Amino acid sequence: MSPLRRLYHWTMTKAGDRRALPWLAGISFIESSFFPIPPDIMLIPMVLAERRRAWIVAGVCTAASVLGGFFGYLIGYFLFETVGQAIVSFYGMDAAFARFQDAYREYGAWIVFGFGLTPLPYKVVTIASGVVALDPLVFGVASLASRGLRFYVEAALLYWGGPAVRGFVEKRLELLTLLTFVLLFGGFLALKFLF
């Protein structure tokens, strides 16, 4: 069995564990402000392992992600020079971030909503929201709408697809993993070159 398949089976086993929801909440929170791995990596196996908990899993993921987004906002607002700039530099987005701020001032709510739905790095958006002092209510509503839509739609597809989706994932695990990393990497590149 390949290391990837061992990891998948381990994740599926842990997805039903009583500590899975707190782990999901933690990952969702930190992903919105600085962590590079999206919470979907946990959400998908958790819903596939226990479909009846799909809505709880999506709710925890959404709430923690929005709260983490506000943490990213605070980093941008209060700590950009010391912490936020280091995060942006870590992702190699210094020049893109400067251009991004100009577009942000005009289309902030739509940018938050759009990035919240995609594999583009949401943490850059949460930090940028704080840097440009986007209205916190606008930021919160756009974050809740986009993150909620993303995670609930994902959970719904997994809930209704159930065994068929699980079979598809297990049969094509390596290909889907590669596709996930390509999308994640593509998101970083798109952000860097679009702005």
Three-state SS sequence of 60-126: HHHHHHHHHHHHHHHHHHHCHHHHHHHHHHHCCCHHHHHHHHHHHHHHHHHHHHHHHHCCCCHHHHH
- Dihedrals phi, psi of 91, to nearest 5 degrees: -85, 5
Reduced to 3 states (helix: H, G, I; strand: E, B; else coil), residue 32 is coil
Q: How much is the pLDDT for 183?
A: 66
Provide the residue count of the chain.
Answer: 195
What is the pLDDT of the chain when averaged over all its residues? 82
Reduced to 3 states (helix: H, G, I; strand: E, B; else coil), residue 135 is coil
Question: What pLDDT digit, counting tens, does each position of 88-130 carry?
Answer: 788 777 777 777 777 777 788 888 888 888 766 788 889 889 9
Reduced to 3 states (helix: H, G, I; strand: E, B; else coil), residue 132 is coil
Judged against a pLDDT cut of 80, whether residue 167 lies above it is answered with no
Question: What pLDDT digit, counting tens, does each position of 46-101 carry?
Answer: 888 888 999 999 999 999 999 999 999 999 999 988 888 887 788 777 777 777 77
Query: Mean of the pLDDT values across residues 24-48?
Result: 85
CA gap 134, 183 in Å, rounded: 28
- pTM, 2 dp: 0.78
Judged against a pLDDT cut of 80, whether residue 43 lies above it is answered with yes
Q: How much is the pLDDT for 100?
A: 72
Judged against a pLDDT cut of 60, whether residue 16 lies above it is answered with yes
